[in-house]
A = this chain, B = another copy of it.
Amino acid sequence: MKAWRLENFGLDNLKQVEVEKPKIEANQILIKVNSVSLNYRDTAIVDGVYTPDLLEFPFIPVSDASGEVVEVGSDVSKFKKGDRVTSHMFTKWLEGKPKSDEQLHALGATVDGGLSEYMVLNEDATVFTPDILSDIQASTLPVAAFVVWFSLVEYGSIKAGDRVLVQGTGGVSIFAIQIASALGAEVIATSSSDEKLEKAKALGASKVINYKTHPDWENEVQKLTNGNGVEHIVEVVGGSSIAKSIEALAYQGNIYVIGFLENMVAEVNLFSLLAKQAKIHGVNVGHHRAFEDFTRALDQLNIEPVIDTIYSFDQAKEAYKHQAKGAFGKIVVDFNK
C-alpha cells in the first residue's frame, strides 16, 4: 500500500513509500483511510519539538483519520466490515485519569498514524463516524474539536448560559466557537481582524473583540459581561496572555491551556489567581469514552466543521506547509481527491 513515512525530523524526511499492508491482532480493525486532517501537533512532530525523545523512525504520521472498516479481528465485537469510523489519538487512554503509560501511545507518533492507504486501530481506539458528517468532515474531529469538548464538558462541566472566551480563529478556536455556542453558551471571540470576527459571529459568537484596537481585551470582556467575567477561556496563546485571561474570568472561572502560540512560559500573578479563585487546567486532548460521547452528540448538534483547504494524498507536503503557515479552519488530506 501507499504511505507517507517520516524517516527523520524535517519535512524533507517525509517520504511517500510503498509498504506492506499492516496485519491486525484479535482486538484490532483495519481501516481503509479516506481522509486525514492536520494539527499543530503534526507539524511540531515533524519539526522535532513535540516529544522527540519518544519517536522511533520511520513511522507513519498524522493522528486524525476517518475511513471504512475493511477487516476486523477475531475478538472485535463493536465494529463490522463497512462501518464508518474515526480514530482516537491516545490509543490506550480509555477513561478516567491516564495511567502511567497510557499517554505514551499516540497515533501518528509512537503508533503508526493515518497518512497511508490502510491503518490499524485498536477496537477501543476507534469511534463510529457521526452519521451527519462526511469522512472529510469527521477527520477534523479527533484532536482540534475533541480537545474543546473535553475541556468544556469533562473539565469545566459547562452549562447552557455560561460565558466562553475564545482567542483567535485557528482550528481549535473555530471549533470552540461552534461547540460552545451549540452547547448554549454565550461566546465572546477575539481576533486582530474584523473580517475574521465577522466570520466568528456567523459561526456562533455573540460578541467579538478586536484585540488590536483593544489590547486591553480583558477589560472589554468584563464590560461585555457586566463585570461578571467569563466562566471559561479556551487558551491557545500562552505567554503573557494568561495574566490577561485571569483578569477576564468570573470568580472560579476556568482557563483551559490547550496551546501556547506565543510563548511556552507563562508568568502567572498568584495574587490575581487566588483573588479570582481561578482554575487553570492543562489539557492534552482526552480519553476514548469522552470522544464517543462527543461524536454521538454531534448527531444532535448542528456543527459543520470549517475546512480551509483540501489537499490530495500526493499533496501531503503542501498540506503540512499550509498547516504551518496557519489557516482559517482545518487543513484536510482527501485520499479520494
Contact = CB atoms under 8 A, between A and B. Distances in A.
A301 B181 CA distance: 9
Chain A residues touching B, range: 35 or more
Q: Which of A98, A252, A265, A273 counts the most B-chain CB atoms under 10 A from its CB?
A: A273
Interface string A277-309: 111111110000100011011111100000000
A226 B51 CA distance: 23
Contact of A264 (B161, B269, B280, B297): B269
A200 interface: no
A182 B301 CA distance: 9
Contacts of A279: 155, 279-282
A97 B251 contact: yes
B271 A260 contact: yes
A282 B293 contact: no
A15 to B, nearest CB: 29
A159 interface: yes
A270 B283 CA distance: 10
A282 B289 contact: no
B257 A265 contact: no
Interface in A219-267: 227-228, 238, 242, 250-252, 257-258, 260, 264-267
Contacts of A159: 153, 293, 297
A241 to B, nearest CB: 10
A183 interface: yes
Q: Copies of this chain, how many? A: 4
B284 A186 contact: no
A266 B277 contact: no
Contact of A185 (B206, B294, B300): B300
A184 B274 contact: no
Given A95-B94, A96-B289, A270 B238 contact: yes
Q: Which of A159, A182, A278, A299 counts the most B-chain CB atoms under 10 A from its CB?
A: A159
Contacts of A196: none
A268 interface: yes
Contacts of A186: 299-300
A336 interface: no
Contacts of A1: none
B267 A300 contact: no
A118 B183 CA distance: 37
B252 A98 contact: yes
A274 B258 contact: yes
20 contacts: A95-B95, A97-B250, A97-B277, A98-B277, A155-B279, A161-B293, A161-B294, A161-B296, A183-B183, A206-B300, A242-B268, A264-B271, A265-B267, A265-B270, A266-B267, A266-B270, A277-B283, A277-B284, A279-B281, A280-B280
Given A95-B96, A184-B300, A273-B282, 5 more contacts: A161-B294, A181-B300, A183-B184, A260-B270, A265-B268
* Closest 8 A/B residue pairs (Cβ): A161-B297, A273-B282, A274-B282, A160-B297, A161-B296, A280-B280, A260-B270, A95-B95
